[in-house]
Amino acid sequence: MAAGKFCGKARGDDAWRLASFLAISTVVLFVATGFAAAVESEAEGRVDGELEQLLLRGLELIGQNRIDEARTSIQTLLKRRPDFRLANAIFGDLLMAGAGKVTRFGEGVVGNEKELADLLAEAKVRLASENRPPTSALPGGLLRLPLRYKHALIVDLSRSRLYLFRNRQGVPEPVSDYYITIGKAGAGKKSEGDKKTPIGLYHVTGHLGGKSLPPFYGAGALPLDYPNAWDQLHRRTGGGIWLHGSPSGLYSRPPRASDGCVVLTNPDFKILEKSTPEGTPVMLTQHVDWLPPEEWQQRREKILQRISQWRDAWVKRKGEGVLHYYSAHYRTGRMDDGAWNRLLAGEDGLMDPGLMEYPGDDGMMVVTWSGWQASGTGGNLVPMVQYWRFEEGADWKIVFEPNG
């Protein structure tokens, strides 16, 4: 619905009651999403985009019963993005509150109940984005980023939020975050056509420009490598999981509206694609585990120590000592022991190790490194991957080596 013209203002108690209804409804929404607590830490926010800030400011003003100011904030937003459906719905309510005609959220929207429910869901997750972790917190799923990656992404599927991190010598440094849409049926993809977004650790496999795609994909797309080796091991099917823009003429989509892809607004996608070349890791998770720096460092050092002990045991061929590091549920790939030994025996050890959680499988970590493989012309670096899982009553153990 396009932003309408303000046609008049109700007088007296009726106008006050209607405006209060809208304000109280919004305050309830704020409390439900934790917005009230987030206002205190507004300076800590890392949300990119003036448009979202205008929207959140407008909702905050509604919660304070400052209806005229809220109308101005939302109207400013709509002058820049008239295709922002949620902002249109809120602006319609503000106009009708002034005219004495609002009785519920979305009163000014011409549409069905599903459309109104989608708009309300978007309002909730956008407000929830203001309830942030401490600025010093680090994601427990990214314990060491390989230096070959300049950035990494984490998508919090339950909060409809994508986080961009800069790689600072292996430490993930938060840069910005964005509202996103996921699959109609939620998360946890297992089969083709189930309308779910995968949970797991993936990588960008390329870039598709918007001009080469149908208008539905907006500004472009970043394909992911779903199904990866772990998915294939568990016989998960389907494909075509992308990060992509929004359809032409539509600023954003509801939190659950895609066939499994992760969808951003076109302005956000254009920003994000500059930092996500081929190979960039993308973690799709139901929950981001934010840790204090001290706890993050301790967890990282403990796992690195365990991996180093495994490497020493393998190189020294300690027999049963090596088997101690492998799970009873271990699965392997195709490389023989001799090839492993040559890669691990180099003086440089495990070069540029990476430690990234594999979400969806509790206590599992994907460990990567580069090993030196000699050849007649000198040699080359070979990327290696292992899946480690913490087993209760034991320790971290290797459960899968796709190229091992």
Please tell me whether residues 160 and 118 are part of one structural domain.
Answer: no
Tell me the C-alpha distance between 200 and 282, whole Å.
8
Candidates 142, 139, 174, 365; CA nearest to 275 is: 174
Residue 346 lies in a domain: yes
Residue 216 has pLDDT above 50, yes or no: yes
- pTM to 2 decimals? 0.85
Tell me, what CATH number does 378's domain have? Answer: 3.10.450.50
| Percent of the chain residues past pLDDT 90, beyond the cut | 57
Q: Is residue 7 in a domain?
A: no
| Most confidently modeled range among 99-103, 338-342, 366-370 | 366-370
Helices and strands: H and E segment counts in the chain: 11, 19
Q: Which one is predicted more confidently, 372 or 313?
A: 313
pLDDT at 31 over 70: no
Q: What pLDDT is recorded for position 62?
A: 85
Report percent pLDDT > 70 for the chain: 76
Cβ atoms of residues 153 and 165 within 8 Å: yes
Residue 57, pLDDT score: 92
The pLDDT value recorded for residue 109 is: 57
Residue 29 clears pLDDT 60, i.e. is over it: no
When pLDDT is cut at 50, 70 and 90, the band that residue 15 belongs to is very low
Inside any domain, residue 330: yes
Domain shared by 271 and 301, yes or no: no
How many domains does the chain contain in total? 3
**Mean pLDDT in residue range 212-235:** 97
Which two tokens mark 208? Answer: 């598709």
Average pLDDT over residues 196-216: 97
Which residue range forms the structural domain that includes residue 78? 12-128
Instruction: Note the residue count of the chain.
Output: 404
User: Which residues have C-beta within 8 Å of that of residue 209, sequence separation ≥ 6?
Assistant: 220
- Are residues 326 and 208 part of one domain? no
Which has the closest alpha carbon to 200: 214, 189, 186?
189
The residues that bridge with 200 in the sheet, in sequence order, are 284
In the beta sheet, which residues pair with residue 258?
183
CA–CA separation, 264 and 208 (whole Å)? 15
Q: Is 36 or 398 the better-scoring residue by pLDDT?
A: 398
Residues 136-159 pLDDT 10s: 999 999 999 999 999 999 999 999
Domain termination site, one of 77, 107, 128:
128
The last residue of one of the domains, among 83, 98, 128, is 128
Examine the domain organization and report whether 150 and 270 are in the same domain: yes
Query: What sign results for the dihedral spanned by CA atoms 205, 211, 217, 218?
Result: positive
Average pLDDT over the chain, rounded to whole? Answer: 83
- Give pLDDT tens digits for 240-278: 999 999 998 999 999 999 999 999 999 999 999 999 999
**Which pLDDT band holds residue 190 (cuts at 50, 70, 90)?**
very high
Residues 269 and 363 reside in one and the same domain: no
DSSP state letters, 236-300: ------EEE-PPTT-S---SEEESS-EE--HHHHHHHGGG--TT-EEEEES---EE-HHHHHHHH
| pLDDT computed for residue 104 by the predictor | 57
- Assess whether 48 and 83 both reside in one domain: yes
Nearest-CA neighbor of 188 among 142, 125, 222, 234?
234
Calpha distance 55→158 (Å, rounded): 21
Instruction: Say how far residue 374 (Cα) sits from the centre of its chain.
Output: 39
Residues 149 and 114 in one domain: no
Q: Are residues 25 and 113 in the same domain?
A: yes
DSSP for residue 217? G
**Residue 82: is its pLDDT beyond 80?**
yes
The least confident of 51-60, 136-145, 282-291 is 51-60
Of the residues 239, 256, 290, which one is the last residue of a structural domain? 290
Residue-level pLDDT at 324: 86
